[in-house]
Structures are given as C-alpha cells and as structure tokens.
Chains A and B, each alone.
Chain A
C-alpha cells in the first residue's frame, strides 16, 4: 500500500518517528562535528607542546652536533604510543635524528622536511616545528601522530549513536502508539459508520460522541448532517408519494383526453369516409350515366355537352381524391402497400394514360426507362403511379409547346441494403418554368407559384404536397430544377425492394432475332431519338438516328448500294415540314431504297391515319409514348415474319369508344342499394354481354345465392339491413361446409385506408373503387372470369 493510502495512524507514527530520528541525527552530527574538531584542535595543541619540548631539548643536540643525544631524546617519545615517527632536521634541512615507534610497519616513510605547521592526513597528523636555541633556529622537528585512535573513537561514537537511534525509535513508537490510537480511533469509528451508511443507506445510524476536540466536532457535524438527511428523506418520501399520486391523476386525465381525441379522430375519419361515400355515390352515377349516354347515338351538340359533363365530373373526382388523400396524409393514415409489380409496364402505362391530354395540346410525351432497371420491384405501384401522374399532369398543364418527358434511372445513392433498388425519376418539360423564389413554396399545401397561375391553370395546389409526402414515405426526396421560362425538371428519388419475380417476356428469343439489325430512327424530337437509340442499343441492334425526312433520305441514299441496307426504319409521324407519310411515300416511290420494314410512331391514332399507313405499306404503327414491351413484341413479330405484311399491325389501336372485350359470358350477382349505381353497373356489365341479377342489400344477395349459381358477385360494402362485409362473412361461413368458393368482388366508395384490407379480411377476392372505371372493371372481370373458368374446370374434373 502506498503511503498516501495508508491509515492516518501509520502516517502520524511515521511522522513522529521521522521527526525524532531527524532531531537525534541532527544532534549526533552536530555533536560529532564539534567533538571531531575539538579533538583535532586538542591533538594539534598537545602535539605542538610535545614538539616544542622536544625541540628545546634537541636544540642543544643540534647545536653541539650530538646525534646520539638527539636520538636518545627522541626515543623518549615511546612514552606516547600515538607518535609513529619523529624526525629532527638540522638547520641545513638534513635529517639529523629519527624515532620510529616499535612495531611500526616497515614501509612507513619518514616525513620529508616541510614548512612549520599541522598537516592532517587520513590516518596521521604530521606536525613541523622549528627548533630554536636562544632565538637561533638550529633545525626542525617533525612529529607524526597516529590518528587511528581518533578513527576508533569515531566508530565507537557511531555505534553508540546507532544504538541510541534504535532505542529512541522504539521508545518513540511505544509512547506514541497509544497516543495516536486516541486520535485515530474516533476517526476509524467515523469512517466505519460512514461506510456502513453508504452501504446500507441507513441514515438512522449515529457515531458515538467522542469529546470536544476537532474530531469530536466533526463527529457532531456528521451526526447533525445525518439527522438532516434523514429528515429530508422523509420529506422527499412524502413529496414522492404526492408526486406519484399527481402523476397518476395526470395520466388518467391524459388518458381521458387521449380517448376523447381518438374518438374525435375516429369521428373525423368516419366523417371523411362518409363524405367520400356520399360524394362519390352521386358522382359515380353522373360519370357512369354520362359514359353510357355517350355510347348511344347522339347529335354532335348533345355529345359535346355530355363530354363536358364527363370531363367536369372527372375533374371533380380528381379534386375530391386530392382532398381525401391530403386529409389522410395529414392524419398519417396512409399506409403503403407492398406488392410485386412490373416497374416498366407500370410507368409506361401511366405515361400512356396521359397521352390523350398531351396529344390534345400537341405535346411530345416521352417515357424513357433505363435498361438496367429491374423488371419487377416490390412497392406500392398505385402510389408511384399517382406521383408520376401528378407530376406529368402538372407538366402538361404548364407546357404549351415542346415535350414532357419522364426518365427513370438507377439511383446508386438509394441502394443502402443489398436487395434495395434506388430509382431516380425526372419529369422534365419545356413549359413556363418556375421562378427561383417560388421553388420552395410550390411544395407547400394550397400553394401554386402564383395566384394568377391558379386563376389561369386551376388546381387545388394539393397535388405537389401529396406527391412530396408520398415520395418521402417511399424513402426518397423531391426537388426542382427550373429556370423561369425555360421549363422545369422535377426530380424525385425512391427506394423499393427488388422483386424475386422474373420477367416472363420472351426476351431471349427476341434478343436473338433483333441482334445486329440495322435500324434508322427518324424523329424531330431529340429526347425521343435518344431514348429509341438507347432501347435499340440495349437490344444489341444497330441504331442510327436522324432528325428529319430529308436527312433520312440522304442517309438511305448513302447506304443504298452498300452491303448493309437498313432492315428497319422507325419514323415519327408528326414532324415539321415533311412528315412520316412523306418519308414513307418517298421510300416506296424509289425502288432503290429497297423494301425496308417501316414502322410509324404516332401520337394519336386516328382512323384515317391507320388507313394511310395501310395504303403506304407501313408494317406497323405504334402510338407514343412507346411501351418497350410493345415495341419489342411488334419488332419480333415483324422480323420473324420475314417480310412486311400487307396489313399494318395496329399494336395498340384501341380507339375510343372501346369495344367491349368478347370474353366469356358471365352470370353476375350485383349487390348494390343505390338505384343509380345499380343502373350504371347493370348497364356496364350488360354491355359486356354478361347477365346480371341485382340485389338491394346483403340479405337479398344471400337469397339470390340460395336460388342460383353465379360466376361472380359484385358486392357493395355499404348497404342497409346487411352490408357487404357481413354478407361475405356469411357466404364464407357456409362455404366451409360445401367446400365451394364463390368469387366476390367488393365495390366501395371508401377510398380510405384499410378498406382494401378490410374487404380482403372479410373474405372478398378483390376490390373495385367507385366510380367504376371501365378499364378497371374489364381487368377485374377478365382476371376472375379466367379464375372462375379454372374453378369450373376443376370442379367438373373432380365431379367425374
């Protein structure tokens, strides 16, 4: 243990011991030095006297040159055994007589002549004195004194000193130990109690009173402190109890408040849902009936009126959807779905859906999805579609000429985890642009760049807010690059998981077929050319692009006689100056150009355009924006056919009004309480050649199911007497005994969170949102009629 950490008793003991020893040592040293110096002085004086006596006697011997007498006289020195040697020098410095003590070592030398004085050496003192005879110097006498006696005395002295020191230490310790104990014992007691208190946290302990010295006072203070701590503990305890009680009260209050708030929130949600339902139901009727009316024979004036009605009701639906979305986002009630979907198809179809609006404004609408993106991803395709639609819709709204393009690339920054895929979307336009100081503002709710803009272009200003929130929820961010008057670029990123699903497209066969095919792209739009070149290069074709008909003809004449003519020419229809038809006509007119397969890209497919293509021998026409899958499929078909077919292939020629798909005829039960909706749905289905039985509520639906067998049930969720949920639950309950499965598709005006989940939980197979869109209805009917057919086949098989 170091000295620092040793007990106070030890420290004090050491202190006392050191002090004692130091004082003694000091005394010994002082005394020793004094004694030593005295001894030397005395010795020198004695020796001096002796030398003088010897000198006086020997002066005569010297004077009379009597060495014998001199030696005799010196030999008298043997009386003092301390005298080692003595020498007598005559006045000329010559050695005259000597004396050596008996038994002196042989090597001891005679002292040489030196001036008078005392010469102390380690072991000897040599003293020189002149010898006078009546004031006349007759010689010098030298005496060598042996100091070994002095050394022996010194050693003796040191021994005694050591013994005294040891004894003194012992006595000091024996005396101080009990004294120290009287000091340290209370301290120990204090320390012991303090340790016990800190260990047991028992503040009721006290240290016994121990006199009134400093330690006694410390003990008193310590006891007082303990007293106060104990009091404070008690006070704290009561305060704590009080506090706990208060916390409990507050918690209760808070819980009550929370319950109230939750109730209010639920009420709000219910209200929204009801509102939504109440608004959508009549809107559903308006839209449905308008569409039905448009399918009848009308005067042009009536058709225009009805189209306006339809357009307005669509817009109203959009506004209502926006408001609903916004409230849901504000309430934090949007949850993202996660399902596998084909990213490219999703984006291309979304953009394609906007084509009608862009075509009306004469804008080029372009969709470029990078080749290295995964085919299938997991995510919420509906929300991605919503974001893209919103941004493209805005772009189209604020662009008067030029193009609107969506490009999608990989975003390496977004790929944090192994199976995550970062996507970077850019929606660029050549529109009015957004001034620098409005860039932040437009992302705020209810804001547009300018109030005058609002007046001019309309819109709630909620679209970008919703978009921003959705992008944020999908793990991305949105930003804007724009220069006023130069168009805008909305960028957003998102993360989605790469799906395990593999593309079912016949990519391999197509690739082999397309590899190395020389293709000439003719398009005035730079972005389009770039995207087409990218697509073709990705398919390992050999693309070259030119921007006009003249340049195309120039290029074709240049390679006319070459070994590798263009096998394929892809031309845009609408181009400034000479258009696509002019190019085709020029090529067909000149047989030198060979018979390359020609494909036409059109922005809108008019009936007469199709006719013209056909007459000019265009192999296929595709409406823009191009879907890659479509393009590939068309190319595969054209190139495998070997020669251009006489009839152009209208890849996606689905001109409105859409002729209902001649699918399987289904027997459908429609459970719907609202007469308008009953009528709309019934008419829609009957137009698709399905037979429909209508039930006014769940009970009626169950009755109907008892009586007949249906391929499909369209079940409204909200109905009087028995709603869709309950009816479905009952049907499913019954099926547990029969083992059959009735396909049930929910119809709901609730576009609220969890509706889909609730429907599926209740045992429904799918879900349609009112107002019913034709496309969605078709898609679902197709899907489930196939399922139903399979079921039938299976049941038939099992029946045999």
Chain B
C-alpha cells in the first residue's frame, strides 16, 4: 500500500471521528446542563454548618477539579443564584491541594487519579463531593451522578456525608437511585 493511500484512509478516518465526536459533544452538552442544575440543588439540600458570625454573606464556593466538562454551563446556570443568604461562587481547580475553601467539589469522571487523591485528601472535611464515575460513591464520594436510560440520576453515600458532618436532606435521598449507608 502506498503512503498516499494510507494518508487517504487516515484523512477519512479523521473526518469520521470528528463527526462522531461532534454528536457526542452535543449529547454531553445537554447532560452537563442538567448536571449543573443538579449540582446547585445538591448544594441546596445539604445542611451546611452554620456560618460563623459575620460570615453570613460569605460566598458558598462550588469548584470543579481537574478537567471542566461543563464548558461554561455552570456559570450560566448558577449566575446570580444563592443558597440561603450566601451567594454561589464558582471556581475551577487543577490540583486537589486547592480544594480547601470549597464547599462543593465536582470531580469529572475521566480523571480517575484526581478523584482518588481528592477523596483521600479530603477525608472528613465538610466538603460535599460530587463525582461522575460509576464507583465514585463506593470509593467514598458523597454523591455520584449516574445515567439511567439517558436520564441523569444520582447515588448517595450517606455515611461519607456523615463522616464529613454534612446532613443530606431526606428529600434528596428519596430521589437517589441508590443510597449507601444508614439513614433514617
């Protein structure tokens, strides 16, 4: 086979891949828009430790760790929203070391290493961890997105939350696909 022929095949393959990636990307955009809204509602349905006096209006920080799959949807969805008296703030982090100061951390499912190190580093800190890999809650994450026939749903690890002294609303638990740990 000639180089030219190989090249021709390579180009065709690339065009196909690009097309497929485009379709996948459109699906993913819708999915993350829902996940962005869910993230906010999760934050709403958690009993946060009462803020110290004078910090009632301190922003509640929502962070993504590592790769950001939202592509700006998060900002769009949470623009100007607040939880209780606290406005919502978004940060995109690269390293798990940057996590302190965040109340909610979202770990993209593709970055498995990041997820493990994050869960290990946070341990019992009062940070709501949200992931999207299938075994996220089993690994000690608190809320893990999962897909249920194209519908975005989630699992909850009540024990992990309890360890972090976070109380997840029973109403949220009612909606969870599965709940790990004891809950009333």
Residue from B34, B83, B84, B174 in contact with A60 in the complex, judged by beta carbons closer than 8 Å: B174
What residues on B are CB-neighbors of A63 within 8 Å? 37, 41, 44
Expressed in whole angstroms, the Cα–Cα distance for A57 and B45 within the complex equals: 12
Q: Is there a chain B Cβ closer than 8 Å to A307's Cβ?
A: no
Contact of B175 with A64 in the complex, beta carbons under 8 Å? yes
Q: Judge whether A69 and B84 touch: CB under 8 Å.
A: no
Q: Establish whether residues B44 and A134, one from each chain, have CB atoms under 8 Å apart when the complex forms.
A: yes
A677 within 8 A of B: no
Where chain A touches its partner, the secondary structure class is helix
Task: With CB as the reference atom, state the residue of chain A lying closest to B44.
Answer: A134
User: Does any Cβ of B come within 8 Å of A346's Cβ?
Assistant: no
Check if B70 is an interface residue, CB within 8 A of chain A: no
Q: Tell me whether B172 is interfacial, beta carbon within 8 Å.
A: yes
Separation of A57 and B174 alpha carbons in the complex (Å): 9
Q: List which A42-81 residues lie within 8 A (CB) of chain B.
A: 56-57, 59-61, 63-66, 69
Contact digits for B82-104, partner A, Cβ 8 Å, 1 yes 0 no: 01100000000000000000000
CB-based contact A64/B38 at 8 Å: yes
Contacts of A66 in B (CB 8 A): 175
* Chain B hits for A60, CB < 8 A: 41, 45, 169, 171-172, 174-175
B contact face: mostly helix, strand, loop, or mixed:
helix
Determine if A165 is an interface residue (Cβ-Cβ < 8 Å). Answer: no
Number of chain B residues whose Cβ lies closer than 8 Å to a Cβ of chain A: 13
> Which of A57, A63, A65, A69 has the most B CB atoms < 10 Å from its CB?
A63
Q: Which of A64, A66, A133 has the most CB of B within 10 A?
A: A64
Shortest distance in angstroms between A630's beta carbon and chain B's nearest beta carbon?
158
User: Across the two chains, which residue of chain A brings its CB closest to B174?
Assistant: A69
B34-46 interface mask toward A, CB cutoff 8 Å, 1 = contact, 0 = none?
Answer: 1001100100110
Contact A57 B171 (CB under 8 A): yes
Task: Give how many A-B residue pairs fall within 8 Å (CB-CB).
Answer: 27
* B83 / chain A contacts, CB cutoff of 8 Å: 134
In the complex, what residue of chain A is closest to B83 when comparing beta carbons? Answer: A134
Chain B positions within 8 Å of A59 at CB level: 171
Residues on the A chain within 8 Å of B171, using CB: 56-57, 59-60
- Does A133 lie within 8 Å of B175, measured CB to CB? no
Residues of B within 8 A of A69 (CB): 174-175
Give the most central of B38, B41, B172: most A CB within 10 Å. Answer: B41
**Residue from A56, A65, A133, A134 in contact with B84 in the complex, judged by beta carbons closer than 8 Å:** A134
- Chain A residues lying within 8 Å of B84, measured Cβ to Cβ, are 134
> Which residues in A have their C-beta under 8 angstroms from that of B175?
60-61, 64, 66, 69
Chain B 17-49, CB-CB to A under 8 Å as 1, else 0, gives 000000000000000001001100100110000
0/1 string, A107-142, CB within 8 A of B gives 1: 000000000000000000000000001100000000
Bound complex: CA of A133 vs CA of B175, how far in Å?
A: 14
Task: Tell me the bound Cα distance from A63 to B34 in angstroms.
Answer: 10
In the complex, which residues of chain A have a beta carbon less than 8 angstroms from the beta carbon of B174?
57, 60, 69
Tell me how far the C-beta of B32 lies from the nearest C-beta in chain A, rounded to whole angstroms: 15
A91 to chain B, nearest CB (A): 12
> Shortest Cβ distance from B70 into chain A, in angstroms?
18
Nearest B residue (CB) for A69: B175
Question: Which residues of B sit under 8 angstroms from A134, Cβ to Cβ?
Answer: 44, 83-84
* Bound Cα distance from A69 to B153, whole angstroms: 12
Partner-B contacts on A (CB < 8 A): 56-57, 59-61, 63-66, 69, 133-134
In the A-B complex, list the 4 residue pairs whose CB atoms are closest, starting with the nearest. Answer: A60-B171, A134-B44, A63-B41, A64-B175
Known: A60-B175, A63-B41, A133-B44; 13 extra A-B contacts, CB below 8 A, are A57-B171, A57-B174, A59-B171, A60-B45, A60-B169, A60-B174, A61-B175, A63-B37, A63-B44, A64-B175, A69-B174, A134-B83, A134-B84
Provide 12 A-B residue pairs closer than 8 Å at the C-beta atoms, listed in order of the A residue: A56-B171, A57-B174, A60-B171, A60-B172, A60-B175, A61-B175, A63-B41, A69-B174, A133-B41, A133-B44, A134-B83, A134-B84
Q: Which residues of B contact A (CB under 8 A)?
A: 34, 37-38, 41, 44-45, 83-84, 169, 171-172, 174-175
